[in-house]
Structure 1
């Protein structure tokens, strides 16, 4: 690797399509998806639904759109969804559920493992009273901040939601990272997660390496309703099969390799251990969070950029590994941080 190459650890969304993925895109048969005629989109939707245990799927432009259409299908104006304070559907997606769907969020604090306490969920389900919004939906995210929600927790949270008549939606932007982290066959592991939900959003433009696209999964009736919301939110993309072909290639070829990203995240975290003022959280998947205190904290990001390393520091230091970063790149990032903090 050239020392002039940028090591971009800001997010796994920065990945570039591989040569094989580009070839699959260029060979994709196309049709008008608004009429349901795009064979490449139809093939992706069917394949993902079958592998994850759902009746149907719907290709979307983004995870934000997929989550939004899912929430708007589950909930009506004046309904409420229970969600984590740092969940994407609440904090990082522009408030779309509230602004466009008139759906009230009820955000809850996360536990250390990223979960929402069952007691907190139950305490915030509103009574059937005209003073309150109608609590309709529990929304979880897996992974959440790079952490994998335990299967036992998903079973308990799902049972609690069902007990109170709530639907269950999963933001699975990094769902396959959670499945790969479980070990064994990732397609068996992913179904162990998805069976606890009525709808799931799966993103292909993060660690799976596609340039764009997500799929919303659910029953045939649910997806038919979501299709109307997709059209209303500008998601009728016509001949978008070449984008679906990229996602399908990722589904077939890029799932198992997520384990490489997890190993590189662990390598990065271990390399940063013991530096003055820096506390590093051991990663479970491909995201490394760290906290830096002291007089050098404000200048770290500029230093890293000067060394060709990009990271984010929006609320904590965050480094994300992906298919366009290798061990040499991770080691360069570690050296850049060490050189700054040990100087």
Structure 2
């Protein structure tokens, strides 16, 4: 029986080329700043997104939490969509790590606008927390891979400048967004104070995210990374995988998007599916007549691994370990379910 793992794009294994790059990496002690492969990755990512500097961390949760702590003080408040990963899936870290409250908004599939944000910025008043940060997510995980365009981001950045707020991007799947919108990565640095770039989702690296920002921000972030326990030593082996991914795995994301659309098209014709969220990138969200966990178990019996995200909602995520024959097999299973 064929096994098709559609639970997440974090389940990928390193490709042969990536393994070779990792095996031959030149390493040193990164806490001393002596791992040249990590230094290369940080510089490469910073140039790519038009920022001054970067810092390599074990996870996107760490880069996001470091950024929030960089851009806030205790008793502050940040603004984010109610689906935001920084709020829902980072263990309450906003409150625990930064002593900051969160103002949650209801964007369209997680997409915020200046008109939504501006009324929620607190006036100067001792009764209110100080609004200091806006966090966007691109693509929006809970929004089914919905994308911001730079045209949508620009007015939000202008609003933040007007009110002297910082703007952070949780770019866990930013390369998926770039492949969909056609926007230029280097333009992102003009709008954001912090950018978290994940290497272990769509790009297929085994570990790691890079936080990008100004030299001053990254200098402080390096101190925070140490406090959070994220200071690594000869981690250039991991950074080499990230460099390889940036060089070889960005353009191929369009294949994952194509596979997601094929699956979504078939789901739209299934009698046991009540709704399929419009697909933009590599995430397919769909609602089911039967409870989601029942359908997930039926799929698993056929070798297809999926995730239930709500009582009647299931998520498929395509990635570089999903091949055309697996998509064809999955379509066949969906037809016969």
Q: TM-score, normalised by structure 1?
A: 0.94
Give the match for residue 92 of structure 1.
Answer: 89
Aligned to 1:307, which of 285, 302, 306?
Answer: 302
Distance (Å, rounded) in 1 between the aligned partners of 2:241 and 2:166: 31
- The Cα of 1:297 is off from its aligned counterpart by 5.1
CA-to-partner distance for each residue in 1:229-252, whole Å, 9 max, x for gaps?
100000011110100000010011
Q: Count matched residues.
A: 331
Give the match for residue 59 of structure 1.
Answer: 56
1:205-220 mapped onto 2 (5 Å cutoff): 205-220=200-215
Distance (Å, rounded) in 2 between the aligned partners of 1:300 and 1:254: 32
Work out whether residues 9 and 318 of structure 2, in 8 Å CA contact, stay in contact via their aligned partners in 1. yes
Aligned to 1:197, which of 181, 192, 196?
Answer: 192
- The Cα of 1:298 is off from its aligned counterpart by 4.9
Please list every run of 5 or more consecutive structure 2 residues that lacks an aligned counterpart in the other structure: none
Give the match for residue 149 of structure 1.
Answer: 148
1:125-274 mapped onto 2 (5 Å cutoff): 125-145=121-141, 146-183=145-182, 189-274=184-269
Work out whether residues 81 and 136 of structure 1, in 8 Å CA contact, stay in contact via their aligned partners in 2. yes
Give the match for residue 14 of structure 1.
Answer: 11
| 2:22 pairs with 1:25 | yes
Give the match for residue 292 of structure 1.
Answer: 288
Work out whether residues 180 and 189 of structure 1, in 8 Å CA contact, stay in contact via their aligned partners in 2. no
Work out whether residues 41 and 59 of structure 1, in 8 Å CA contact, stay in contact via their aligned partners in 2. yes
Distance (Å, rounded) in 1 between the aligned partners of 2:149 and 2:100: 28
- The Cα of 1:256 is off from its aligned counterpart by 0.6
CA-to-partner distance for each residue in 1:256-309, whole Å, 9 max, x for gaps?
11111011111111122221141212210001110112x475521111001000
SS at match of 2:10: helix
Distance (Å, rounded) in 1 between the aligned partners of 2:6 and 2:45: 28
Distance (Å, rounded) in 2 between the aligned partners of 1:151 and 1:50: 18
Work out whether residues 266 and 334 of structure 2, in 8 Å CA contact, stay in contact via their aligned partners in 1. no
Give the match for residue 5 of structure 1.
Answer: 2
- The Cα of 1:97 is off from its aligned counterpart by 1.4
CA RMSD of aligned residues (A): 1.3
- The Cα of 1:193 is off from its aligned counterpart by 3.7
Work out whether residues 41 and 240 of structure 1, in 8 Å CA contact, stay in contact via their aligned partners in 2. yes
1:41-52 mapped onto 2 (5 Å cutoff): 41-52=38-49
SS at match of 2:99: coil
Q: Which moved more, 1:57-66 or 1:73-82?
A: 73-82
Distance (Å, rounded) in 1 between the aligned partners of 2:291 and 2:58: 40
Work out whether residues 300 and 337 of structure 1, in 8 Å CA contact, stay in contact via their aligned partners in 2. no
| 2:316 pairs with 1:319 | yes
Please list every run of 5 or more consecutive structure 1 residues that lacks an aligned counterpart in the other structure: none
SS at match of 1:128: coil
Distance (Å, rounded) in 1 between the aligned partners of 2:94 and 2:225: 14
Q: TM-score, normalised by structure 2?
A: 0.95
Give the match for residue 116 of structure 2.
Answer: 120
Distance (Å, rounded) in 2 between the aligned partners of 1:37 and 1:52: 23
